[in-house]
Amino acid sequence: MRILNSDDVLKSLQLNRADLNDEVLALVKRNMQAAQANGTRELEDGFKSLALYIEKIMPPQSAPSPTLSGEKPVKIPKVIYINNTTHCNAKCSMCPTKYSKRTVQVMSMELFKKIITEIAPYKDAITNLYIGLHGEPFVDRLLEERVELCAEHGFRNVILTTNGSLVTEERATRLLAMGLSGIHFSLESLRPEVYEKIRVGLCHKVVLNNILNFIRLRDQQKAATAIWIRFIESDANTAEADAFLDYWRSKLNPRLDFTQRCDMHDWALGSPELTHPDLQAGDSPCVHVMEQTSIHCDGTMGLCCLDYNGEYELGNVCEHNFLEAYNSEKFKAVRLMHQTRQRCRLRRCCNCSLPEYWGGDKRYNGTVKKFVAAGAIQSEAIKFGQDFAVAHNLS
């Protein structure tokens, strides 16, 4: 493997990073020259991998400042999903639970407390903390206790996503009193016959009443809990989309609440019948990989919100501190592969169009340009991505 040329790297840094002073540039040059003189292949003298090297000399300008054991700054996710249970009381047509190979389980309270305690010092950097992902969070009898624990640790951005079937008046009252930040209700039709074909196993009347009761209780208590009503559009309900959204806008508080109309997605399975024809997989960096993370019930950290089977174990909060797990070599490498437009090397990412749907190119255009401009870094990063994908069975 060719050694990076120090002059190439310095030129790229000076071009892309005007905020770096002469002292930092001189340090980079000394490290580069020492590595070249020693004949190291990937700057092994002082840097364990190319991913670590690039992060050290080209961190995002808005990078957070916490450290591990007094060492260099580490990355903190802006959004965290904690999957409190894999159990769900419905079998929805657009959901991958029917393909799931994971055992039905509930996260232990001990593990949940560990996670919350470890991320609490960085709560101001975490914009959203979701409880629930690949299951129905209200199946968990400890849900209210978990939300209360988050409130005790100062989190003011806790959000639940639910099908609404188990959100009774008693549970709603308790959650609102705790200061729940937001709740997402998924309801795909105002017509029972359509809804119950999409959300198999649920009763439309029960769900509709639960949502309306939650809105009423929220307004009575003058709580600041934001309510989202999500409409996942499909052939079965597209004709009523406008009327559906108009109905809910008349019920919601425009200063707090939202209606969301979104397309079906195939959960990166490569099934065209489940994906909007305008959504084509590309090579944009993904917001979930770059800025978010998901923690499964057993403490493993997956690739993204679509990794419902936990194919990619990139970290484990049972074995490590949260920040150590999130800044593991695997996480760093996967983020680097996205930054250098190599996500097609990852099985789960090659068929996924969500980065394009979320505007990945616009969001990370500056970051991608830096790597493209840094010719020497770009070529070595691509080779690193190839080797890493093969070594860790990610491709």
Residues 161-175 have pLDDT tens digits of 999 999 999 999 999
Is the pLDDT at 34 greater than 60, yes or no? no
Is the pLDDT at 206 greater than 80, yes or no? yes
Whole-angstrom CA distances from 163 to 22, 73, 183 are 56, 39, 10
User: Could you give the count of Cα atoms lying within 13 Å of 40 in the half-sphere of its Cβ?
Assistant: 17
CA 339 to CA 221: how far, in whole Å? 46
DSSP helix/strand/coil, 334: helix
Supply the mean pLDDT for the chain: 76
Lowest-pLDDT range, 56-70, 167-181, 265-279?
A: 56-70
Lowest-pLDDT range, 46-50, 349-353, 356-360?
A: 46-50
DSSP helix/strand/coil, 72: coil
Query: Taking residues 179-188, what's their average pLDDT?
Result: 92
CA 283 to CA 223: how far, in whole Å? 42
Lowest-pLDDT range, 37-41, 230-234, 362-366?
A: 37-41
CB neighbours of residue 327 within 10 Å: 20
Pick the more confident residue, 338 or 155.
Answer: 155
Model pTM score? 0.74
Tens-place pLDDT, residues 319-334: 999 999 998 888 888 8
Is the pLDDT at 235 greater than 60, yes or no? yes
pLDDT-based confidence at 383, cuts 50/70/90? low
Q: Which of 102-106, 177-181, 280-284 has the highest mean pLDDT?
A: 177-181
pLDDT of residue 332: 85
Tens-place pLDDT, residues 79-133: 999 999 988 888 887 777 767 777 888 999 999 999 999 999 999 899 999 999 8
pLDDT of residue 221: 93
The one-letter amino acid at 55: E
203-204-205 Cα angle (round to 5):
95
pLDDT of residue 284: 81
Is the pLDDT at 49 greater than 60, yes or no? no
